[in-house]
Structure 1
Amino acid sequence: MDLSSAEWHKSTLSQGDGNNCVEVALNLPDIIAVRDSKSPHEPILTFTPSEWSAFISDIRNGRFD
């Protein structure tokens, strides 16, 4: 999978030097990519848009609180 065109974004809520958060790339066709900002060259997780949507919905509904 070619992720070379990924545009990585950190949360605006990121604290300090920004090296303790995840980065998300939403610009890729049919895929959402997620990586650890401290280790950007480590394996990257990928999700379908529907999987990502379900995950975000669960977060907003407090499922992981």
Structure 2
Amino acid sequence: MTNADWIKSAKSANSGECVEMRRHDGAIQIRDSKNPEGAVLSFTPGELDAWIDGAKKNEFDHLL
């Protein structure tokens, strides 16, 4: 897959609590949209898939 522009969830459009994601050089990258020059986290597709699976199973709900 080619490199993509940063995107964010429609749900976070005006809430001020936004993260952005993109695919870049085979990785999925995540950053804080309020600090676009700050840190960028990079994950393999498999790592992100494992996290999404856990989120769907409510494994992280206790953190909210």
TM tier, smaller: 0.7 to 0.9
Structure 2, unpaired ranges of 5+: none
Shift of 1:6: 4.2
Aligned twin of 1:11: 9
State the TM-score, normalizing by the size of structure 1: 0.78
Runs (4+) of structure 1 exceeding 3 A deviation are none
Q: Distance in 2 between matches of 1:8 and 1:33?
A: 9
Shift of 1:15: 4.5
Structure 1, unpaired ranges of 5+: none
Aligned alpha-carbon RMSD (Å): 1.6
Q: Distance in 1 between matches of 2:29 and 2:52?
A: 14
Higher helix proportion:
2
After TM superposition, the structure 1 = structure 2 runs for residues 1-40 of structure 1, keeping only pairs within 5 Å, are 6-16=4-14, 18-26=15-23, 28-40=24-36
- What is the aligned counterpart of 2:41 among 37, 41, 45? 45
Q: Give aligned-pair identity as a percent.
A: 39
Match of 2:29, SS state, is strand
Number of matched residues?
59
